[in-house]
Amino acid sequence: MDIYNNHKRLFGAAIFLFIGLTMFAAVFPALDSQNNNAPLPESKPLTSEEVAGKGIFIREGCIACHTQQVRNVDMDKMWGTRPSIAADYARNVRTDVWRNTANLMGSERTGPDLMNIGNRQPSEDWHLLHLYNPRSVVAQSIMPAYSWLFDVKEYAFPEDVVVNVPDEFRQGVTGKIIATKGALALVAYLKSFKQLKLPDGKPSPLFLYGKEVKPALAGTTSKLNTELDGAVLYAANCQSCHQENGEGLKGAFPALKGSPIVLDKDPKVQLTIIMKGYNGRASEGFGVMPAVGTNNNLKPEEVAAIMNHERTSWGNNGRKVTLTEIKELFNQVKSGPVAK
């Protein structure tokens, strides 16, 4: 054990051991994390407006009720297409030298998770109306109103973004309700949350603890396996704007109840609006409808179920569409122009 009597060997061994431990405990794991958790190819850094919106998100305490993480449990399927992974947060950086608010994953979910809200609800009009008075779009909401993020003017300038609030939620306000730069920045930040497709070859994490679907008995057919629930799909994709009763919101979102487009025997226009969006009723005060079907990656079976729900609910007696005709129109509509 001459090493204890030879300081050169002792110091050399200590340095070698320190370097070895540093490589295995810090350097190699960091390189592995850098390679495996790099930003996803289609991800983009936040714009200056979105960064400002993040600051307002923090200032208003939104993290107290909203998470930004889709957990790998089956109940979280409603919030995203897959569980969140480290690469989803790879572009998050410190606010500045003094403040580290890179990730706002949250720990309480009093309100919905926001990790994929930009895809689930891409409408700016909806978000602004929801901020001004959440009950105007979600009757059961317990979220507080952020009306101080809006101004009231007698006249709106061309550059102003006017929020069309239904009369019953204006609470005596008679002027034009205008979104401030802060409200627009916050909405831009919320719309930036979009789960991206993983690169080819990168395994997607699975949702765990799902409900087991029992196979149908011999000689019978399972309705669960042959029919999609149009009401459930409508609630997940359309109800936040057009409402559960199909009557929409006056001055904000048009009604589907009694709509000539919904009742039309030819389903092409209705299908086009679902897949491509619609901007033809701005003169009536309605906002632009996003391409819900495309944004949410709805399949022909799901779109057909939604269309039939709309055509046969709330007193509507439109002709039910068939899956065959929707499949025939699907690719044609997806490659066609936006409805106007």
**What pLDDT, on a 0 to 100 scale, did the predictor assign at position 178?**
96
Classify each residue of 280-313 as buried b or exposed e, where b means 16 or more C-beta atoms within 10 Å of its C-beta.
eeeeeebbebbbbbebbebebebbbbbbbbbbeb
**What pLDDT, on a 0 to 100 scale, did the predictor assign at position 37?**
77
Domain ranges (residues) in the chain: 48-191, 222-335
- Both tokens of 17, joined, read 């051991």
**What pLDDT, on a 0 to 100 scale, did the predictor assign at position 282?**
62
* Cβ–Cβ under 8 Å, residues 307 and 238: no
Cβ-based burial of 227 (10 A; exposed 0-12, middle 13-18, buried ≥19)? exposed
Tens-binned pLDDT, residue by residue, of the chain (340 aa):
576 777 788 888 899 999 999 999 999 988 887 777 788 889 999 999 999 999 999 999 999 999 999 999 998 988 988 999 988 998 888 888 888 888 899 988 999 999 999 998 889 999 999 999 999 999 889 999 999 999 999 999 999 999 999 888 988 899 999 999 999 999 999 999 999 988 888 888 888 887 665 555 555 444 444 468 889 899 888 988 899 999 988 778 889 999 999 999 999 999 999 998 887 666 666 778 888 888 888 899 999 999 999 999 999 999 999 999 998 888 787 665 555 5
Residue from 120, 126, 140 nearest 77 by CA: 120
**What pLDDT, on a 0 to 100 scale, did the predictor assign at position 94?**
83
* Cβ–Cβ under 8 Å, residues 278 and 238: no
- To the question of pTM greater than 0.85 for the whole model, the response is no
**What pLDDT, on a 0 to 100 scale, did the predictor assign at position 84?**
93
Q: Which fold has domain 222-335?
A: Cytochrome Bc1 Complex; Chain D, domain 2 (1.10.760)
**What pLDDT, on a 0 to 100 scale, did the predictor assign at position 319?**
92
* Cβ–Cβ under 8 Å, residues 258 and 316: yes
CATH 3.40.630.30 fits domain 48-191: no
